[in-house]
Chain A
Amino acid sequence: MAFRSAMLGRVTRRGSDLGARWMSTWWRSVEPAAKDPILGVTEAFLADPSPDKVNVGVGAYRDDNGKPVVLDCVREAERRIAGNLNMEYLPMGGSIKMVEETLKLAYGENSEFIRDKRIAAVQSLSGTGACRLFADFQKRFCPDSQIYIPVPTWANHHNIWRDAQVPQRTFHYYHAESRGLDFAALMDDIKNAPDGSFFLLHACAHNPTGVDPSEEQWREISFQFKAKGHFAFFDMAYQGFASGDPEKDAKAIRIFLEDGHHIGIAQSYAKNMGLYGQRVGCLSVLCEDEKQAVAVKSQLQQLARPMYSNPPVHGAVIVSTILGDPELKKLWLKEVKVMADRIIGMRTALRENLEKLGSPLSWEHITNQIGMFCYSGLTPEQVDRLTNEFHIYLTRNGRISMAGVTTGNVGYLANAIHEVSKSA
């Protein structure tokens, strides 16, 4: 203590730039945070000098040349708004126009819920921000509730509800043996959860497995949810990107709406409009009536304020420009289909290649699964071999991003997968 005061005495001289430094110990207890598993893959890929390297860890769309894509409809929207955008703060709830168009996508163009103003909706920081806002809202207004999260799920879901201080439970989802849905166990978990539990569901193109319930199965899930009075929160990050048709990809949500559920939805334009870095999305909560929707919206805004005050404008105006212009919207729908079709094409190609190589294993799941990701069933050790021997980069859970697969590398990839798995 005495030494410290002496040090203090020496450093508190006015205005002089001292050699002696204030030896604060504020941040001593700060450990380095664990590295993000997904980002680590990209870093390693970038550092690899091999000409054969393939990045199938990336969670962003790539064209057949492996290049990032900015959609034509987006370029056109940007051209229109560049330099012309008034930069005034958006309202706390974000761009009204963008939110209106976004709700139509999820709830239906002629949704009665939109007409009756029963949906509390705010612009959010993409899908992540929507999930976080909802988690905070859940914590504030249903403080004793928990969230049921599928196994597996996007890793950040766990971080989100944990930082919102909502306790988590898991429910069965992926069936390793069949590389498909563990439907029986899923239904058991729904039945065994206490009445009125909160569940996180992926509306389409489950991340990371690519395994979605069939329409039949969704109806059964919805029915069971009704019986138990559960709350369904849908994370819809891939609408349009899964089948190529946004209406089809919203099927699960529409089933729940038809069955009378009051749901919550997180929507994102990161993938389906390629607006990744712009962080554009929407959180919506279906309420009993307009009055409740107004109250809920006001509370969602209150939760957003201490995070960022109001959401960023640029991406929102790109979205509303596109969706508000029939020609641009048509172009967008076409471009989304192109992306989805390329992915579906690559799934087929990868599977066919593996079968042609005479692989003893079944690779049906590659084409059964849907969306950007394929849960290959490869073990961490096999993944390590893919990386170390073949310079193929993916996350150790065996998740392959089909967006990283091209006509140029699909043969090489199939070969490598065959090599590491043929004696399995």
Chain B
Amino acid sequence: MVASVNASRFEGVTMAPPDPILGVSEAFKADSHESKLNLGVGAYRTEELRPYVLNVVKKAENLMVERGENKEYLPIEGLAAFNKATAELLFGADNPVIKQQRVATVQGLSGTGSLRLAAALIERYFPGAKVVISSPTWGACFHHLNLYVKLSQGVPWSEYRYYNPKTVGLDFEGMIADIKAAPEGSFVLLHGCAHNPTGIDPTPDQWEKIADVIQEKNHTPFFDVAYQGFASGSLDEDAASVRLFAARGMEVLVAQSYSKNLGLYAERIGAINVVCSSADAAARVKSQLKRLARPMYSNPPIHGAKIVANVVGDPALFNEWKAEMEMMAGRIKNVRQKLYGSLSAKDKSGKDWSFILKQIGMFSFTA
């Protein structure tokens, strides 16, 4: 074997830090104790603590195999049937923003990929504009924006207060004050429902006030909707916050993910939607999102998109999906109830555990 020629130019490559979330799962796996519990996992589990593949997904996959569809490249913006279905799911098929063709929808690599496309759009067209993020927010999101910032040096960010440890609830005044204090024209990252990691969502009334201050400061709302249907069990109810903003005629960015609500975690299926004030603007924005996606991965993966399109496009499958989602959300609510009941009974300190019931979605932020 000939001696290697280049003294490595990658000498300076240090070991990247371990992922904080994955680290929990790794430690869990390594633990041999019989009573071990993994409450770090950000994926749905059944009563038996098994991963769950939805029945509608299995049916859709089998249908796809039977049909023998081909594997041609999707267009850069993704599967048309998926894009139509996902926008309608989010806004409602009769929503004026859809009827007026004011939504630029591009299939993305789940929530992460959709956020990334939006971040790249912001960096390109609003250089120097700030993104304000809730404190806390999805750990990886923080990382992602952080990493993306390091990579691109383009998107400055800061935090707005969100979690109030005293009430184990929303620091609403803090949130409003910080959004108000952000420079005019900032992008405000909001969780559409089932805030990750706190499980604390604003009330409808509070959403109105948040929209007020965003309009007042000429900010752009940027929703991350990773749990539509998964929070309350109802797709429409969980989209209420987004629809409220759209109804005001605001221009809104919305990232969607089907990882949790359709259990399609590993298929990486989601979308970025940009609600614009005109159909012309939406067309231009869509073209630029495509331009950003092309040098990342050319066109998005087909499999997850077809599953979603098949499930949403078939009335029987769609209804079955809604039922499975209610079941999953229901189990979570049930467990919250049980946990609350058990803690209240066992804990003699008088501590108020009701935050477990008030919080919503997959996560609970404990005091």
Contact = CB atoms under 8 A, between A and B. Distances in A.
B300 interface: yes
Interface in A45-63: 60
Contacts, number: 276
A261 B125 CA distance: 41
Given A17-B247, A18-B249, A292-B10, A229 B5 contact: yes
A231 B147 contact: no
A259 B1 CA distance: 8
A302 B16 contact: yes
Contact of B112 (A15, A159, A309): A309
Contacts of A68: 70-72
Contact of B5 (A33, A259, A275): A259
Interface residues of B, number: 90
Interface in B127-153: 140, 143-145, 147-148, 151-152
A359 interface: no
A83 B62 contact: yes
Contacts of B296: 125, 128-129, 132, 163, 307
Nearest to A261: B5
B125 A29 contact: yes
A306 B300 CA distance: 16
Contact of A308 (B10, B112, B276): B112
A358 interface: no
A311 B268 contact: yes
Interface stretch (A19-27, A176-184, A337-345, A369-377): A19-27
Contacts of A75: 68
Contact of A306 (B22, B112, B304): B112
Contacts of B12: 141
A22 B102 CA distance: 13
A277 B73 contact: yes
A276 B267 CA distance: 15
Interface residues of A, number: 98
A260 B125 CA distance: 45
Interface in B328-348: none
A377 B44 CA distance: 57
Contacts of B35: none
B23 interface: no
Contacts of A92: 19, 22
A14 interface: yes
Contact of B61 (A29, A83, A296, A312): A83
B357 interface: no
A89 B276 CA distance: 33
Interface in B249-297: 249-251, 259, 263-268, 274, 276-277, 281, 283-285, 287-288, 290-292, 294-297
Interface in B32-86: 43, 51, 53, 57-59, 61-62, 64-65, 68, 70-76
A148 B125 CA distance: 29
A172 interface: no
A55 B303 CA distance: 26
Contact of B298 (A156, A278, A310): A156
Nearest to A277: B302
Contacts of B87: none
Contact of B267 (A21, A196, A262, A314): A314
Contacts of B277: 21-27
Task: Name the residue among B19, B276, B298, B304 with the largest chain A CB count within 10 angstroms.
Answer: B298
A216 interface: no
Contacts of A21: 249, 277
Given A126-B297, A310-B266, A70 B125 contact: no
Contacts of A126: 297-298
A132 B15 CA distance: 21
Given A36-B76, A302-B147, A307-B112, A79 B65 contact: yes
Contact of B71 (A31, A90, A129, A274): A274
A277 B295 contact: no
Nearest to A8: B215
A26 B220 contact: yes
A93 to B, nearest CB: 11
Contacts of B314: none
A87 B2 contact: no
A277 B71 contact: yes
Interface string A318-357: 0000000000000000000000000000000000000000
A28 B112 contact: no
Interface centre among B14, B291, B295, B300 (most CB of A within 10 A): B295
A88 interface: yes
A366 interface: no
B297 A279 contact: yes
B186 interface: no
Nearest to B300: A279
The list of the 6 closest CB pairs from A to B, nearest first, reads A277-B302, A308-B109, A313-B266, A125-B297, A22-B249, A159-B295
Interface of B: 1-6, 8-10, 12-16, 19, 22, 43, 51, 53, 57-59, 61-62, 64-65, 68, 70-76, 109-110, 112-113, 116, 125, 140, 143-145, 147-148, 151-152, 208, 211-212, 215-216, 220, 244, 247-251, 259, 263-268, 274, 276-277, 281, 283-285, 287-288, 290-292, 294-304
12 contacts: A8-B215, A8-B216, A68-B71, A82-B64, A92-B22, A112-B1, A128-B295, A129-B298, A260-B5, A298-B16, A305-B143, A306-B112
Given A128-B296, A262-B6, 6 more contacts: A68-B72, A82-B62, A87-B263, A226-B5, A307-B297, A314-B266
